[in-house]
Amino acid sequence: MANNNNNSNNNGKMSREEAGRMGGNATSRNHDKEFYQDIGEKGGEATSSSHDKEFYQDIGEKGGEATSRSHDKEFYQDIGEKGGEATSSSHDKEFYQDIGEKGGEATSRSHDKEFYQEIGRKGGNRNSGS
């Protein structure tokens, strides 16, 4: 007979699941928000010291894939709008000029003259109503 790890099959002993739940509940009653922030910070520091950039890229990619499976276009539009509003409320004109300049420099390094001619043509056609 299989052991289901519940009280009736453990000779009156508590299952690991139940012990964990009770321990977690006791811990949450005895500690405040700062306790959890502190252990979270320590865990984050330990993780960052033992993992490289590729580890974080991999878990980020997995999280992004999982999120994209469970959310629709409107979700991304909504969070993009909220992020844009938060950014615009905390940054000034110079911030946007700086990131625009950096983006322009990065684009110019990775694209040639034909790229700019093509986007110029597309912009011209759009503005002329074609």
pLDDT in tens, the chain (130 residues): 444 444 446 678 999 999 999 999 999 999 999 999 999 999 999 999 999 999 999 999 999 999 999 999 999 999 999 999 999 999 999 999 999 999 999 999 999 999 999 999 999 888 776 5
What is the structure's pLDDT at 82?
A: 97
What is the structure's pLDDT at 128?
A: 73
Query: Cα separations (Å) of 129 from 6, 76, 116, 122?
Result: 72, 30, 20, 11
Alpha carbons 11 and 47: distance in angstroms, whole number? 39
Question: In this structure, what is the dihedral angle of CA atoms 11, 13, 16, 20, given to the nearest 10 degrees?
Answer: 160
